[in-house]
Amino acid sequence: MGPGGACWRGGGVPRGWRRWLSSSAPAPRVAVVGSGPAGFYTAQHILKHHGGVRVDIYEKLPVPFGLVRFGVAPDHPEVKSYGAEDNRVLGIPGENLSGVYSARAFVGWYNGLPENRDLKPDLSCETALILGHGNVALDIARILLSPLQLLRKTDITDGSLAALACSKVKRVWLVGRRGPLQVAFTIKELREMINLPGARPVLNPADFTGLENAVKDAPRPRKRLTELMIKTALEKPGEKTVEAQAAAPREWELKFQRSPQEVLPTADGRRARGVRMALTRLEGSGDSAKAIPTGDVEELECGLVLSSIGYRSLPLDPAVPFDTQRGVIPNSSGRVEGVPGLYCSGWVKRGPTGVIITTMNDSFDTAQSVLEDLQVGVLDVSTSREGFGAVESILRSRGVRPVSFSDWEKIDAAEVARGKAAGKPREKIVDPQEMLRLIGH
């Protein structure tokens, strides 16, 4: 269910299961690999409905919670939502030039993900271009354009805050292959972006003319989202809004029906100076509409390119089946095809879509499969399993000392104390070696 590594043990015993536990049957053991939302929700559901089970959760980092800690924007703590360890590549010339970053790496950088702590993105240009029309793209645009006094109150890392304080970026383009009716962000995030202090929204009225009729019968969330864009694009703002927007030092713009063809290099061939876009037309309607190149192209000048076209899971082990096309483990309700006793949950199960509530329900579905298989005898629990006891001895023989949950609590307390001193909720430690020193490893 996720990338694996360090571990701790969990298990609750509801009153109704006391009699079951007193029988001679050994307690079933479940190992959850990955301590992100999918892992925790799966464990929670199993423990809640089968008090005799013991669950061990394994995590590769010294700190738990996956995307809840590392994937959600620091100014959105209320939604801190084997995750997707990789990002989808653009597959176009120039995407490896300096100044081009994946959304995953950029988000990891400002959220303190250890593997991205040395990213050092160059923010010396005036215009940034984000490829993608999802919530992650909006998150990045908001972080790039937010007033520093707002970011200082969050748990954004100190190094990222220092870099953003020196940033020259004052214009962000959010570019998508399809049209306004296919954007993937949600209304709450869009409204927050429209109301961002010091940043002016730019929506081309021509993109939205006549769309009122097209969304009349659309599902309510899509209808409300489109109506908000139409209002922003077509309605004349009030006097106060006009004054605020005129004084705004920064701006962001939604651009539609453009597909990236090539990241254009500077004269020395080292850095990005822009992106050549193929203009597209839409075939079909609604979410299934396809973007078809028209043959026309356009060059957008920018010095920072961020690709937010989706995350991607990686194969776990040759013994575990993996669909390389879809980037998921083939499964039925979380049961891994052809490998009895192995289950998957979260993005490696269904692909990198949805928000935290989607992952919760998806994890409960997988957990229900485990519970059903325990109940009907598909899983052999007749003999006692050692669980973490066996893993611990293997780790010890390799000189690996795992981080326990109480160790994590020491790291947590240290981060909160450092944050308090700086007037923030926490100051994340981004170096795993420093984390280990802190707990005496």
Check whether 13 has a pLDDT greater than 70: no
Alpha-carbon distance of 272 to 348, in angstroms, equals: 32
pLDDT band, residue 87 (cuts 50/70/90): low
Instruction: Write out pLDDT tens, residues 386-410.
Output: 888 899 999 999 999 999 999 999 9
Going by their DSSP bridges, the two strands 171-175 and 127-131 should be labelled as: parallel
Alpha-carbon distance of 120 to 157, in angstroms, equals: 13
**Which pLDDT does position 14 carry in this prediction?**
33
Please list, in sequence order, all residues whose beta carbon lies within 8 angstroms of the beta carbon of residue 58, skipping any fewer than 6 positions away. Answer: 4, 5, 6, 7, 31, 32, 33, 34, 35, 391
**Which pLDDT does position 286 carry in this prediction?**
84
What letter would DSSP give residue 9?
A: E
**Which pLDDT does position 255 carry in this prediction?**
98
Element (H, E) at 295: strand 290-301
3-class DSSP assignment, residue 410: helix
Please name each of the domains of the chain with its CATH number.
6-68+313-402 (3.40.50.720), 87-311 (3.50.50.60)
3-class DSSP assignment, residue 370: helix
Crossing angle of helices 220-234 and 187-194, rounded to 10°: 20
Residues in the chain: 441
pLDDT band, residue 432 (cuts 50/70/90): very high
3-class DSSP assignment, residue 31: strand
**Which pLDDT does position 10 carry in this prediction?**
32
Single-letter amino acid, residue 108: G
**Using an 8 Å Cβ cutoff, are 326 and 334 in contact?**
no
- Residue in the block written with tokens 């993105």: 121
Average pLDDT of the chain? 87
Highest mean pLDDT among 99-108, 168-177, 238-247, 322-331: 168-177
pTM of the predicted model as reported, rounded to 2 decimal places: 0.75
Alpha-carbon distance of 255 to 208, in angstroms, equals: 12
Kindly write down the DSSP assignment for every residue of 196-239, as one continuous string.
Answer: -TTEEEE--HHHHTTHHHHTTTS-HHHHHHHHHHHHHHHSPPPH
- Residue in the block written with tokens 């609604």: 286
**Which pLDDT does position 72 carry in this prediction?**
66
Check whether 71 has a pLDDT greater than 90: no
Single-letter amino acid, residue 242: V
User: Residue 342 is encoded by which pair of tokens?
Assistant: 């192995």
Instruction: Write out pLDDT tens, residues 186-226.
Output: 999 999 999 999 999 999 999 998 898 888 888 999 999 99
Measured between its terminal Cα atoms, the distance across the chain in Å is 27
Least confident range of 78-92, 155-169, 361-375: 78-92
Please list, in sequence order, all residues whose beta carbon lies within 8 angstroms of the beta carbon of residue 93, skipping any fewer than 6 positions away. Answer: 262, 263
Check whether 18 has a pLDDT greater than 70: no
CA 387 vs CA 26, 31, 222: distances in Å: 12, 7, 47
User: Residue 200 is encoded by which pair of tokens?
Assistant: 């002016």
The alpha carbon of residue 266 and the mean position of all alpha carbons in its chain are separated, in whole angstroms, by 31
Single out the residue of 325, 306, 289 nearest to residue 177, CA to CA. Answer: 289
Check whether 311 has a pLDDT greater than 80: no
Check whether 413 has a pLDDT greater than 90: yes
